Amino acid sequence: MVHDPHRSDGAPQGQAPPAAGERIAKALARAGVASRREVERLIEAGRVALNGQVLASPAVKVEPGDILTVDGAVVEDAEPARLFRYHKPAGQVTTHKDPQGRPTVFDNLPAGLPRLISVGRLDLNSEGLLLFTNDGGLARALELPATGVMRRYRARARGRVTQERLDKLREGVTVEGVRYGPVEAHLDKAKEGPQGANLWITVTLNEGKNREVRRVLESVGLTVNRLIRLSYGPLALGTLAAGEIEEVGPRVLREQFADHIAPANLPKGDRPQFAGVATPAPTRARTPGARAAAGAGGARSRPEQPKKVYKAGWAKAKAPKPGGMRTPKGGKARAKPADAAAKPAGRNPQRRG
């Protein structure tokens, strides 16, 4: 057979055809099991199996028809992408489990929702808009600095600064060896006090690194004592009250996030599955009775108070004193008024006809 270098049929000799399918970390992230990084940790711990074989490396691709299990439970096919807006109050940790036992944002979600992944984080003392999704690929895309999704915050800080100094943050800044990209900071309000000025500043950035707003403002001499995230990309906090959650409609997902969602995972229809705005149950109930009531309906209730036990005979009538009974006309006895003994002797009360 004569070798023809211009032939293009078949694969080149000595090279295996590229493996089909989807990387296992991405497949599990799309199925809502965990983020890609968390999936890699699950694989290292020997908790993920493909077609009955425990995996030791994430460098595996999943093909149609393969059976994936995590901790022995079969992972179902990825559901259509869903996205939720949540107003995180201060005092909650953005994690599934906290070693210190502090309340988490996931503890406060209402029942009936799929397994969700947080899009980015807000630290313990920060509040405002936090996004949840069941699509790991969407979460990763919205978190990456390369995607350039805009985040807007409102910060209350103590100190003194000028707008000219804040404008220099547009060039980026390096704090303790960490380089932060351009930051837009606008001084909204300043109020002088006995211990310095109390400032309100609107901050806009595109990276979202850990504690970025606080550290960037610290670089210009400000101490942030309150931080509220107002928006994340095209989604805003709006009128959501602290602790409330609302699902973003499928149409918005298709229009705003189609580039970050696999075509097979795009939602259909126009109405969200989780209708309305829900106020989750309190993170920690004070009593077992209140916790059960909160888990059932999400409403706060006071613990039942035990009924007061009275001593035996408390409600019995006292025996009449000697001479304390008189017999009026008709022969029926009735009690003598209690204040009769205090009236002076010889005084006859007038009887009304």
List the beta bridge partners of residue 63: none
Active-site residue (options: 66, 98, 107, 123): 123
Q: How far apart are CA 37 and CA 144, in angstroms?
A: 13
Tokens of 74: 């079969």
Closest CA to 291 of 108, 114, 116, 112: 108
Q: How far apart are CA 119 and CA 99, in angstroms?
A: 21
CB atoms within 10 A of CB 226: 13
Measured CA to CA in angstroms, residue 319 lies from 129, 223, 312, 323, 340 at distances of 71, 76, 16, 12, 17
Residue 230: alpha-carbon gap to chain centroid = 15
Q: How far apart are CA 265 and CA 258, in angstroms?
A: 10
Decide if 123 is catalytic.
yes
Rounded to the nearest 10°, the torsion over CA 214, 218, 219, 220 is 120
Measured CA to CA in angstroms, residue 348 lies from 164, 321, 336, 343 at distances of 97, 21, 14, 9
Residue type, 55: L
Residue type, 332: K
Which run of H or of E encompasses 49?
A: strand 48-50
For residues 213 and 205, is the Cβ–Cβ distance under 8 A?
A: yes
**Active site members:** 123
